[in-house]
Structure 1
Amino acid sequence: MTRGKGCGHCPGSHTGERPCLASATTKARSWLLIEHPGPWPERVEELAEPAPIAEAVRAARAAGVRPQLIRRPGRRRGTPPIQVYAAFSRGTEVWMEGRELADPAELAELDLGALAAGTPPGFGDLVAGPVLLVCTHGRRNACCARTGAPLARALSERFDRFVWETTHVGGDRFAANLVCLPHGLSYGDLGETEALAAVDAYLRGEVVLDRLRGRAGLPEPWQAAEHFVRAHTGLLGLDAVAVRSVTGTSRYEAVVVAQGTRYRVVLEAVQQSAPCGPDCEENLGTYVVTELTLLNEAALV
């Protein structure tokens, strides 16, 4: 078996030395989740069998949809039916469809263009409950399997059908990683206690700022601006804070609306040192806030 890249002991981002805020993957607004028990290759696009799933993965990537292979913690069926989800998140516009396939070849029926554009493709029924993805992709990074697999099992004991193991979600250095769909909320550096708190909050329509990496699909400065305004106001509702605009390059100026109140947020991008050697090169940047001021009490139209 091919071993994933080791990451040694990655210090917790919650210490403040290497914060994980604004590190959610920026290229994932549209998601395609396909049940496949494994083995998983180091990169999903290298999957060869089963051919219909491999073809769907490559087609999704070409269409601008993020494919993820998923499997149940501890109980993995190796034959159809297989579970498939299509999900989309753009601000307050979120939805998810789900369907069990008797034959993986049915994946060819999915309108990937519609999914990429944020239009429900009608591939399956709308799914009200969340999908909780825990990265356990050991061939991509050994820490993801070492920390993610136990976390997935622990979460499944309480949240059962909502929980799936998944392939790489970005941010290996923040393992264990959790993504909450359909909103695309990403958490990192999780132990069982922190993960349970994050999921409990998500089920009641809120976020937890501790260990929150950000909202996938948004540029990192947008994620950072939202985080800092939430921290300043204490507003945790999923839709309570919205970033309206961000300008700049290494120094950014954002306008953020929080329950009818506008804020100006000035951010700077800074670099962190690699926590565990040259094999841990992702997400070395972070953001600091240099100014956060009230603009007015009127919401933007």
Structure 2
Amino acid sequence: MALEQPGPWGRDAATQSHLPADLGSALAEACSSRGGRLSLIRRPGRHPDDSHDPAPAGHTAYLAWAGEQPWLLTGRVADPAVLLDVDLDALARGDRDAVTRSLPGMAPCPPVLLVCTNGRRDVCCAVRGRPVALDAAAEAPGRVWEASHTGGHRFAPTGVLLPHGATLARLDATLAGEVLAAAGHGALPLGLLGPAHDRGRSALAPGAQAAESHVRHLVSEVSLTAFTVTELARVSAPPAGTPAGTPADTASDTPLDTPDGTPPGAVGTVGSTFEVVHEDGRSWVVQCERLLLAGELPESCGKHPVHVSVWDTRVAS
């Protein structure tokens, strides 16, 4: 669920914006309890704190499902509280008709790109993301939005492509335009495959994201719906006392968190084995290990350094 909310946002945008805090909290909880997410969005540009009143035409809202056959609905709502009436259980299972019945007026629309710009002085998001959103929106009006925090901020500028849930890193305005052009065909641009930009599809668990991204890059498959990923086995565990890492940020044969691309002394691993099946029948068994690194990096802008993790992926067969 993405909801337009003009004006400034705090670090927790759902409860620190001109959206009533209790409503933002309720919507965020309703989404997260079903495996989804609430994002606040706004049109690229300046966001003066000069009014608590919504735009005369109301708020744009998007409802996206990122399953096997992704779809995206949009509409305008005069009062964001009506989103509490959305059948989120239907959204979670991909039942578009039931979702539409719960909120009449929502209609299918082309893919949109959400670029993280949360924070006034946030180097990762506001400083790097806002120019990307502004320039990309000039080329694709109405299809690029500034968005609240999406995660993985050390890979900024970051974005999320709806409805597919493709999470993207190190964007610029040119790449953003290519993303939207390819998304119309249900694809990613060939140049965005691989660990530098492709952080996986959010509908999958982190390890599965890493496995699919690895195979996608390996065979140069741009279709966002070409693969099915199944976990075959859970392998290994971190040593006792190992600090917890952050969720995976990249699929890579060599983790990207160090300048030379080499792991700076992993302190433990946890991982899984996945089968990645292409729609044409080809399949790959991919081993994914989450390396918990000995060094520390800021989890995101403004936060204290923490132990972080990266994915190491390899095709076993």
TM (norm. structure 1) is 0.76
* Contact 1:171–1:282 (Cα < 8 Å) also in 2: no
Structure 2 residue 125 is matched with structure 1 residue 144: yes
**Corresponding residue for 1:43?**
12
Pairing of 1:190-209 with structure 2 (within 5 A): 190-207=171-188, 208-209=192-193
* C-alpha distance in structure 1 between counterparts of 2:3 and 2:159, whole Å: 17
1:274 positional shift: 4.0
Residue type matched to 2:311 in 1?
Answer: Y
Residue type matched to 2:128 in 1?
Answer: T
* C-alpha distance in structure 2 between counterparts of 1:283 and 1:184, whole Å: 26
Identity of aligned residues (%): 33
**Corresponding residue for 1:25?**
none
Indicate how the Cα distance of structure 1 residues 225 and 105 shifts in structure 2: closer, same or farther if over 3 A, else same: closer
Q: How many residues align?
A: 261
Structure 2 residue 92 is matched with structure 1 residue 116: yes
CA RMSD of aligned residues (A): 2.7
Name structure 2 gaps, 5 residues minimum: 48-52, 236-269
* C-alpha distance in structure 1 between counterparts of 2:307 and 2:43, whole Å: 28
* C-alpha distance in structure 2 between counterparts of 1:62 and 1:269, whole Å: 24
Structure 2 residue 55 is matched with structure 1 residue 84: no
* Contact 2:5–2:18 (Cα < 8 Å) also in 1: no
Indicate how the Cα distance of structure 1 residues 199 and 109 shifts in structure 2: closer, same or farther if over 3 A, else same: same
Mean CA deviation greater in 178-187 or 241-250: 241-250
**Corresponding residue for 1:299?**
none
Pairing of 1:156-235 with structure 2 (within 5 A): 156-207=137-188, 208-210=192-194, 211-235=197-221
* Contact 2:286–2:315 (Cα < 8 Å) also in 1: yes
Among 278, 283, 288, the alignment partner of 2:312 is: 288
* C-alpha distance in structure 2 between counterparts of 1:50 and 1:291, whole Å: 46
* C-alpha distance in structure 1 between counterparts of 2:10 and 2:137, whole Å: 24
TM (norm. structure 2) is 0.73
Residue type matched to 2:273 in 1?
Answer: E
Indicate how the Cα distance of structure 1 residues 59 and 241 shifts in structure 2: closer, same or farther if over 3 A, else same: closer
Pairing of 1:259-278 with structure 2 (within 5 A): 259-272=280-293, 273-275=295-297
- DSSP-derived class of the 1:194 partner: helix
Mean CA deviation greater in 169-178 or 107-116: 107-116
Name structure 1 gaps, 5 residues minimum: 1-31, 294-301
Q: Deviations over 1:190-248 (max 9, x none)?
A: 22333333333323322231401110131111011111212222222112222133421
* Contact 2:62–2:73 (Cα < 8 Å) also in 1: yes
